[in-house]
Amino acid sequence: MFEDTDRRNFLAGGAGLICTLAGHKILAGDRGVDVDALAAQVPVPPKVAAASSRALPLPGQQPAGPGGQRREYWIQAERVHWNIVPSRIDQMMDKRIPGHWKFTAWAYRQYTPNFAAPMGPATIPGPLLQGQTNDQLVVNFRNKLKTPVTMHPHGIFYAEAMDGSYKGRFTDPGGFVRPGATTQYVWDCKPGTEGAWPYHDHGPMDPMGVFKGLFGAIIIRKPEDKVPDLEVPLFLHDFIPPATGLSANISCINGRAYTGNTPTIQAKVGQDVALHVFGVDNNFHTFHVHGHRWTNEAGKVVDNATLGPGDSLTVRFTEDNPGRWLYHCHVFTHLHMGMSGWYVVS
């Protein structure tokens, strides 16, 4: 049932072009693309070839701004065995979900200084990066995959060398972090960069790194801003057959699919709640929370908001309605292919 639905609906029958990698066109219906083998065909950019194969230092930046501080992170990209539907149940429909849901994902993992020890498992999304106006975020990034990958931020300020993106022969070392190599990104939380932003892989195999799980959130606040009582980043995204080797396209929230597997958000009446929602696939999505409404940036009260690829929005309200509620994408095919979860208020 689920595989047949997928074949009919996913990008007009599976023939849509996802991307071109190393001269090879990758179609939506392709299964288990060997990204590592394709990456081996990509020439190493001149600036990367000239740098050390183990440590890729980038040009220094100005210190943190007035009143700001340096916030340093140690993050590694690595392989992880990932189960998209751990319970094999969709609690919204109270039905078992048949099929195969495990694959080898790519994920970011946070470590203690100098990569001494992991601070937890590799996760999808990756570690939350936080700062305040005039802070400086310093990310020491190590690649333990077999494919060059990167970290590219949205919203925050950075110099050209800190972009973390592949640009062919113009690529800086941070845009092509080779397997086993380490680099350092320095990003500045200048005034005007406040908000919730995504970061993600933007290396030579883009967008396959994103489709395999390499993304996360950055939150920047003004020092005087009130921190919400409950704050949850939520990524609306697809795991697609070329990235997973599975037969079905799977609509996910934070790397999981179907209610009861996606994040169950626990809130209490009276809490200041902020849900930061990101779109990180090729689709347009909406975000809807049952029994709740909020005021958008235009000053309009809404209960359903739209976002596209690379977009982010913040849903913020004071909790006033106890119960077990659904939150989900209101594109119905996405909802019924896994993009939903519980919001439980006590």
Mean pLDDT calculated for residue range 195-208: 97
- Structure tokens, 226: 């009130």
Please name the residue ranges forming H helices in the chain.
Answer: 2-9, 11-14, 35-39, 46-50, 208-211, 241-244, 332-335
- pLDDT range class, residue 152, cuts 50, 70, 90: very high
- pLDDT range class, residue 58, cuts 50, 70, 90: very low
What whole-number distance in Å separates Cα of residue 187 and Cα of residue 162? 7
- The predicted structure's pLDDT at residue 28: 84
- Structure tokens, 204: 């030579």
What whole-number distance in Å separates Cα of residue 258 and Cα of residue 337? 7
- Structure tokens, 135: 């802070």
- pLDDT range class, residue 68, cuts 50, 70, 90: confident
- The predicted structure's pLDDT at residue 110: 98
Mean pLDDT calculated for residue range 86-106: 96
The residue written with tokens 């694959």 in the block is 103
Mind listing the pLDDT tens digit for each residue in 103-135?
999 999 999 999 999 999 999 999 999 999 999
Q: What is the CATH number of the domain that holds 146?
A: 2.60.40.420
- The predicted structure's pLDDT at residue 29: 83
What whole-number distance in Å separates Cα of residue 220 and Cα of residue 318? 21
Mind listing the pLDDT tens digit for each residue in 209-233?
999 999 999 999 999 999 999 999 9
Q: How many Cα atoms occupy the beta-carbon half-sphere of 3 within 13 Å?
A: 8
Mind listing the pLDDT tens digit for each residue in 317-335?
999 999 999 999 999 999 9
Global pTM reads 0.92
CB 152 within 8 A of CB 201: yes
Q: Which residue range is the domain that position 154 belongs to? A: 2-345
C-beta neighbour count of 201 within 10 angstroms: 32
For Cα atoms 65, 272, 329, give the angle at the middle one, nearest 5 degrees: 95
- The predicted structure's pLDDT at residue 57: 46
- Structure tokens, 315: 């849903």
Give the mean pLDDT of the chain. 92
Mean pLDDT calculated for residue range 41-60: 72
- Structure tokens, 118: 């992991």
What whole-number distance in Å separates Cα of residue 285 and Cα of residue 281? 10
- For 285, the 3-state DSSP assignment is strand
- The predicted structure's pLDDT at residue 230: 98
- Structure tokens, 275: 């849900």
- The predicted structure's pLDDT at residue 163: 97
CB-count exposure of residue 168 (10 Å: 0-12, 13-18, 19+): exposed
- Structure tokens, 47: 């600036």
- pLDDT range class, residue 316, cuts 50, 70, 90: very high
CB 244 within 8 A of CB 263: no
CB-count exposure of residue 213 (10 Å: 0-12, 13-18, 19+): buried
- Structure tokens, 309: 């690829």
- State how many domains the chain has: 1
What whole-number distance in Å separates Cα of residue 22 and Cα of residue 134? 40
* pLDDT above 60 (res 91): yes
- pLDDT range class, residue 52, cuts 50, 70, 90: low
